Structure 1
């Protein structure tokens, strides 16, 4: 925009248009979910599915909600938006010193059979966070090779050396969830609640699920392990309001009321380009080359799931947070909203 003042009228008009863009078929979540999964085998759903209530979202500018649509207080399945929340929990582990070196092999700090042999011993925390681990194996009954997403153009086969190639793979993100649970000695929802969402004043309506068979044992205690998405059900169920709160924390570089919930350095690392996938950071998508959302500014980063029908968009340059569920055409919407706001800083 040419002026220096936000055009709130234009933002609210864009929200009114977005209100009527609704993902079709989500009234029958079991059928909808089955249609989304392209795997040829191991398709069985393990975790819970949440019926959709409809499209919803929040536009937050300068920490204030200036517009919303649908019922933004109702939790929805977040799909792969969950992955970026896993990155936030890893940031808590880094802030507390439990995760001291992301470039160290995972096997140096946790004793898990999944990291005991061959190339798996060379997989680092950073490899898992950047989806470059190339790990091959089976977890919770699902082989890494079964995830059809890992055979998209631009990915590398799992036989490659850790760090040499990128592949979007839910089994490997679930492996990161397992490793973080073992490292922290607590479930990821417990850490997220106590260290992040409760200090932010989030609601108590959100949930984070794994599978009936996803558990690990730490010091004799059986701890549930959540999933990093909804590929086989489960993952994070969260409202747009609560997602926007989390987004605000990150735009503020991890500080909330004077306290560092996430270190500034972790956010910087999370939003740095992966060497073999420039549009990707630590489980965050980066729009610097405008390949994720061509209509949106290059200053934004995002969490996104289910082909961008669920999005948490952060643009620190505009002090902007957008959280949306079941909202198609979100790139066009982000572009409309962004053009209505001044870019405050580079």
Structure 2
């Protein structure tokens, strides 16, 4: 979901100038149609680029790959990368300019939070059925008993029951004194665990819960146990904090496409990176499974495993009688951000696609234009083209995309709420937009400035010959 903090957006633009100076089942592999030798690539080691292969070397039809890249590039994708068997098969025409630019990947950030939750889970520091109150401070302003009884899994599946309204939730992004306390200030409007309702504040709360569980700053923990093992240096990305220094979980991770692709490839490889198990295969499986209240959503990941598919509450939460991407295998799962920032992983085909861009879909539907409608035209058509090129598996073609009926429910109540906004400004007697927990928080401001400077210096360093 979108948020546009001014400094990081300016940073992304500046770095560009710096750099310029019917649903198929899981396919069955067809051995008799496979080429004799299929190239397999290792994942990049420290200082290495992705290893390359031609489309033919990984059993893909070159013409289909070319057509898919051309389609994506004319559909607002500033970068697009196709990988098979860990080999980089193709990229978009703008990738040489954009592949090192840190840009906001919006709700892909939620999926990264889920990956970090897995690191805590694997270390027995976090349990899915635990009430979040176990990890919250026992102080005023940190939730009543009902809020503290919400479980970790209910946060991860967006079934917490907390009130949400997209634009009201993100209005104070970057200005919040304490994002997790803002989340805890939102009223419970559904019994937790009874309804899928896509919230922006819930991932902020999950980020804080993980931080409390592991006993150190979330970004420090993630750098040691997630980013460093797969070669993502801390001067290549920026992650926004609130004024208390808590890391936002709903969006505002600014990361280059090349580094974003590494996160997708880690998941594609069952959590392993060149023999090192970074995230357990058990957790990778969990995030991609359907949750019972939304068959196309797992743990902050979208999944193709089942239908119907419930979308984001903008302009209304529509239920689609289809899979997330009907033209792709049913084991596809995805990290998905506004205006189509995505990692797509297809385990059965050992394929990963990463793309970023500036506009959403083309349907006459506000949710699709924002890139928040499951199974919209860009996803559908791209994978319909690309799947034609898979030579060693049958992926049925359900036919051309059919435009959904225009959603006439555009009531502002769905995404604008005075209650949600007021609770963001005044979370509790202990915390408001200015004063929180007995002081005026500023640690996060300084951390954000240091982070921005670090990325600028890193980009300058990496741009030198």
Counterpart pick for 2:80 among 39, 57, 76: 57
Aligned-partner Cα distance in 1 for 2:130–2:185: 28
1:93-132 alignment, distance < 5 Å:
93-99=120-126, 101-111=127-137, 116-132=143-159
Counterpart pick for 1:300 among 311, 317, 332: 332
1:42-191 alignment, distance < 5 Å:
55-69=78-92, 70=94, 71-99=98-126, 101-111=127-137, 116-135=143-162, 140=177, 158-191=188-221
- What is the match of residue 455 of structure 2? none
Partner SS for 1:265: helix
Instruction: Kindly state the Cα deviation for residue 257 of structure 1 after the two structures are TM-superposed.
Output: 2.5
Aligned-partner Cα distance in 1 for 2:281–2:84: 21
Aligned-partner Cα distance in 2 for 1:186–1:226: 12
Q: Taking structure 1 as reference, are residues 250 and 117 closer, same or farther at Cα in structure 2, changes over 3 Å only?
A: same
Aligned-partner Cα distance in 1 for 2:384–2:248: 31
> Is 1:18 matched with 2:72?
yes
Aligned-partner Cα distance in 1 for 2:116–2:219: 9
RMSD: 2.9
- The runs of 5 or more residues in structure 1 that have no matched partner are 23-53, 148-156, 216-223
Superposed CA offset, 1:13-69 (max 9, x none): 3212322222xxxxxxxxxxxxxxxxxxxxxxxxxxxxxxx7112111110111111
Query: Residues 289 and 305 of structure 2 are in contact (CA less than 8 Å); yes or no, is this contact kept in structure 1?
Result: no
- What is the match of residue 53 of structure 2? none
Q: Taking structure 1 as reference, are residues 12 and 119 closer, same or farther at Cα in structure 2, changes over 3 Å only?
A: same
Is the radius of gyration larger for structure 1 or structure 2?
A: 2
Query: Residues 91 and 262 of structure 1 are in contact (CA less than 8 Å); yes or no, is this contact kept in structure 2?
Result: yes
Q: Taking structure 1 as reference, are residues 239 and 175 closer, same or farther at Cα in structure 2, changes over 3 Å only?
A: same
- What is the match of residue 293 of structure 2? 276
> What is the count of residue pairs matched by the alignment?
290
Q: Taking structure 1 as reference, are residues 259 and 90 closer, same or farther at Cα in structure 2, changes over 3 Å only?
A: same
Counterpart pick for 1:253 among 264, 270, 294: 270
TM-score (norm 2): 0.57
Partner SS for 2:240: strand
Instruction: Kindly state the Cα deviation for residue 179 of structure 1 after the two structures are TM-superposed.
Output: 1.4
Aligned-partner Cα distance in 2 for 1:118–1:110: 11
Q: Which moved more, 1:192-201 or 1:314-323?
A: 192-201
Query: Residues 115 and 123 of structure 1 are in contact (CA less than 8 Å); yes or no, is this contact kept in structure 2?
Result: no
Q: Which moved more, 1:189-198 or 1:119-128?
A: 189-198
- What is the match of residue 303 of structure 2? 286
Query: Residues 105 and 124 of structure 1 are in contact (CA less than 8 Å); yes or no, is this contact kept in structure 2?
Result: yes
Partner SS for 1:210: coil
**Which protein has the bigger strand share?**
1
- What is the match of residue 241 of structure 1? 258
- What is the match of residue 346 of structure 2? 315
- What is the match of residue 227 of structure 1? 248
Aligned-partner Cα distance in 2 for 1:145–1:226: 16
Q: Taking structure 1 as reference, are residues 343 and 81 closer, same or farther at Cα in structure 2, changes over 3 Å only?
A: farther
Aligned-partner Cα distance in 1 for 2:121–2:183: 27
Partner SS for 1:107: helix
Partner SS for 2:241: strand
Query: Residues 201 and 250 of structure 2 are in contact (CA less than 8 Å); yes or no, is this contact kept in structure 1?
Result: no
- What is the match of residue 193 of structure 1? 223
